[in-house]
Every structure is written in C-alpha cells, then in structure tokens.
Amino acid sequence: MAKSIGNALIVGGGVAGMQAALDIAAQGFGVCIVERSPSIGGRMAMIDKTFPTLDCSACILTPKLSEVLRHPNITILTNSEVGSVSGKAGDYKVRILKKARYVDEEKCSGCGDCATECPVEVPSEFDQGLGFRKAIYVPFPQATPNVYTVDMDNCIMCNRCVKVCEREAIDLEMVDEIVEFDAGAIIVATGAQLFDVSAYPRLGYSLYDNVINAMEFERLVNAAGPTGGHLIRLSDGKVPMSIGFIQCVGARDVQKGVPYCSRICCMYSIKNAVMAMEHNPDAKVWVYYADIRAFGKGFEEFYEMAKARFGVRFLRGRVAEVMQGTHSGNLVVKVEDTETSEIRLIEHEMVIVSPGMIPPEGMSKLARKLGLPMTDDGYIKIEHSFFGPVATKDPGVFVCGMADGPKDIPDSVSAGSAAAMKATIILAKGEE
C-alpha cells in the first residue's frame, strides 16, 4: 500500500467517514476506509427519506458513494476491522483484518447470477430482518463496492454459485487476510447503533407483531424495501389506518443507562409520521413525546408543517404500556396526556417504537486499541467542546459523526469535514 506520510485511515464508511475521506482525498492525500460491513454507506443507506426536506436518502447518498468509490486517492476495505494500531501522530502502523468475502473483488462485476442460483434464503440485515437475501448477496442495490459476499454462517457449500459465475470470481476457500497500512492520521467514524427496544417489555416490541421499531418502518415504506414501499402490517397484510409513534425509548432514561438525548429521534419520527400520512392520507397518526426537539435548520418549520399540513397529532406523555387485543392484532396505547392530565387509551393498528442511539458494538475494544478514553455513555471522548470538538486525547486521532455521540446527518457531515481538516494539518506537516 501507499507510503506512510500522507495517508489517513478512516474507521467506518458511513456518511461522516465518507465525507472525511473525500475532503482528505481532495487535498491529494491517500485515504483508506475500513468498513466492517460489506458496503460503505452506513445507516443513511437504510433510511427511506430524510428530514426536513423529504429527500430520498438513497438518491442523495449514491452520488457520494460513487464519488468515494471512483476517487483515485481512496481505498475502500469492506468486511474489515482494525486489528491493531501502534505508533504516534504522523506515523501509525495499522494492521487491518480483512475478512474473507469468498468473492474476488477484482473479478466480481455484481451481475447477480450467483444470487439467483443460490438456494439459501436468510433474513436480510439491511432490511432489518423483514425481507430476505441469499447466502451470497449484496446488502442493497447501490452497495459500494458492488461486489457479492458469501455469508459463510449460512452457506451450505453447494457450489452452485461457483459454477454459475462466468467470471470465476467465487472462491469458497478464501481465507482472512491481514493488511498493513501506514497512516499519518486516523479518524474514528464508527457511527452508532439502535437501542434494543425489547428492553422495554411494556411497550410490546418483540412481543406483538404489529409493534415495530423505526428502522423497520424505514424499510417498510422504502420502495426498495421488503414490501416494495407499501406500508402494511407484515402480520396480516392490512393497511394500518391508525399509527402511533412512541418517543424517547432508550433515550433520556437514566434507569436504562441512556441518560442522554439521542438528538435525531424527534425529527426522524416526525418525518416517519409525515411519510405514513403520505402513504395513506386517511390514516390517523399520533406521536407520543416528552419534548419535541426540532432544533436544527428547518426542523421547527418541518414540525409545524407536520401538524398544520399533514394533521399529525402530537400528544405529550410517556407511554405507560402497549397492549394487544385478542383477535384483530390491534394495539392499545395507554398514556397520560400530560397537557390535560387525562389517562388515555388509544387504539392503533400499528405502533412504531423510536429507539435512541447507543455506541456501536465493539466501541470499547476499538477505543482500547487506539488508546482513547471514552465517555460514561460509551462514546469516544472528545478533547474539548471548543478547543477540540473533533479531537481526541491522541493528537493524531480525530472523531466525527456519531462516534462521539448522536448526531443528525448535516452535523455528521460537518464533523466529517472538520476531522478531515485536522487530519490534513498533520499529514501536511509530514510532507514538509
């Protein structure tokens, strides 16, 4: 791989990491993105529409995906994780574990013949387990790189894909590799994950079929999702005429170890509520909230529009319980309307629980490898809110996106650019 000075390593290929990579590469430095999943794109690729403009998420993300892929200064290592890191600012030695994908990235053209042939169907992680994929798959149509991956846990070694592949790209004997990379600076852009809302049994998630989480809702209304974009109940195919969104689940809750605000859930739920109305203008849509935090550019205006133009109903109160009726599969939300002090029982045909964000799996392990301190909440600790909002204790390691705490897309992108700026100051010093 390229020479040591003038290269940056980016851990995580979501929208923040991609932005950082592009801004570093634009200055002529080399960048290596290490991404754990088979494709870059992160959470944003899974989202249907974005607030506050209702832009289609995939549509605005794909130009960035191709830009990253095509950039001559950017190397993408998918299915890969940081193994070990040594050295110091300006001169890090990184060992990257590149897991076998059983498909030769150079040979695969992404034609999909293998997946057509593959007899094994398993729930698709990208579709939140609501749709299916084959044991050899790309996670989503715009996956970058557009290279298939064999999921060895589910592969039955029937070799049908190997035979059908005209380019002879599939090698089921492939083994994991260690890639060594010399970097002058490192950017942590690992993102975050959704809180597991089944930790609140009273809200019925994982107990009742028609209680789903917000990311499942995103896939359900997405044209490329498991229902082709039809908002229906997966339990019985019924179009839900009454939908409730429950806020602050796994956020602002000291008892559950998530005392902080997750910052995005209010807005994504208002957006989801609007999407529900767009899919079915006759539906009745409720949002149960504690405070509506519409703080970003254009957010408050979007919240007003959801109320005034779409007629989304907002009820201030933490939901006590979601109960299921015996026959219809319908649900009853029990909640105190804190503005009227009334206890209400409201029937819904579908309930969406809006999870907060928590640090991604493996965050503490990565922090240990990089020698970085963490916050009590389990995110990477930033150096200082004003003097180093994207800096860490290590002067050559920076952080952006959700790796230091929940952020929406524009804030993640902005932080990605900021981390790139700081990294290039170090890379340029090495060049002198």
Partner 1 sequence: MTQTDDPRIGVFVCHCGHNIAGVVDVEAVAKMAESLPNVVFSCDEMFMCSDAGQQLIRDKIEEHNLNRVVVASCSPRMHEPTFRRVVEEAGVNRYLFDQVNLREHVSWCHTRQPEAATEKAKDLVKMSVARARVLEDLPIKTVKVLATTLVVGGGIAGLRAALDIGDRGFDVLLVEKESELGGHVAKWTHLFPADESGAEVIKPLIKDVKAHKRITTLTNSKVIEFDGYIGNFEVTVENLKTEKKQKFDIGTVIVATGFIPFRPYGYFAYGESPDIVTLAELQELAPSDQLLKPSDGTPVKKIAFIGCVGSREPGVKGHEHCSRHCCAATAKAAADLREKIEEVLILYQDIRTYGKGHEEFYRLARRRHVIFSKFPRDAKPVVTVKNSEVHMSWRDVLADRELTFQPDLLVLATAMIPPEDIAETAKMFSLTRSGDGFFNPEHIKLAPLTTHTAGVMIAGASQAAKNASESVIDASGAAAKAVGLMAKGEVEIESTVSHVLSELCSSCHTCITVCPYGAINMDETVDPPVAFVTEAKCRGCGTCASACPSSAIIMYHSTDNQIMTMVEAYLCSPAQLEGGEPQ
User: Is the distance from CB of 86 to CB of 119 less than 8 angstroms?
Assistant: no
Residue from 119, 129, 141, 201 in contact with partner 1 (CB under 8 A): 141
Question: Could you tell me which of 40, 34, 41, 42 has the C-alpha nearest to residue 77?
Answer: 34
Residue 355 tokens read as 């999870």
Tell me which residues in 48-77 interact with partner 1 (CB under 8 A): 50, 52-53, 55-56, 59-64, 66, 69-70
CB of 290 to partner 1, least distance (A): 9
**What is the Cβ-side half-sphere exposure of residue 3, based on CA atoms within 13 angstroms?**
6
CA dihedral angle for residue 278, residue 283, residue 289, residue 292, rounded to 10 degrees = 30
- The yes or no reply on residue 156 touching partner 1 (CB under 8 A) is no
Tell me which residues in 109-128 interact with partner 1 (CB under 8 A): 109-112
CB of 65 to partner 1, least distance (A): 8
- The yes or no reply on residue 414 touching partner 1 (CB under 8 A) is yes
> Looking at beta carbons only, is 85 or 138 nearer to partner 1?
138
Residue from 1, 2, 27, 152 in contact with partner 1 (CB under 8 A): 27
Tell me which residues in 248-277 interact with partner 1 (CB under 8 A): 252, 254, 259-261, 263
Region near partner 1 per CB under 8 A, out of 78-86, 194-202, 207-215, 403-411: 403-411
Rg, C-alpha atoms of the chain: 23
How many residues bind partner 1 (CB under 8 A)? The answer is 84
Taking the chain, what is the end-to-end CA distance rounded to the nearest angstrom? Answer: 21
- The yes or no reply on residue 43 touching partner 1 (CB under 8 A) is no
Q: Rounded distance, CA 213 to CA 195, Å?
A: 10
User: Is the distance from CB of 184 to CB of 430 less than 8 angstroms?
Assistant: yes
Element (H, E) at 93: strand 91-98
Residue from 23, 151, 218, 394 in contact with partner 1 (CB under 8 A): 23
User: Token pair 């846990």 is at which residue?
Assistant: 153
Residue 421 tokens read as 């700026």
Region near partner 1 per CB under 8 A, out of 2-10, 161-169, 195-203, 298-306: 298-306
Question: Could you tell me which of 276, 128, 273, 277 has the C-alpha nearest to residue 205?
Answer: 128
- The yes or no reply on residue 228 touching partner 1 (CB under 8 A) is yes
CB of 141 to partner 1, least distance (A): 5
Tell me which residues in 360-379 interact with partner 1 (CB under 8 A): 375
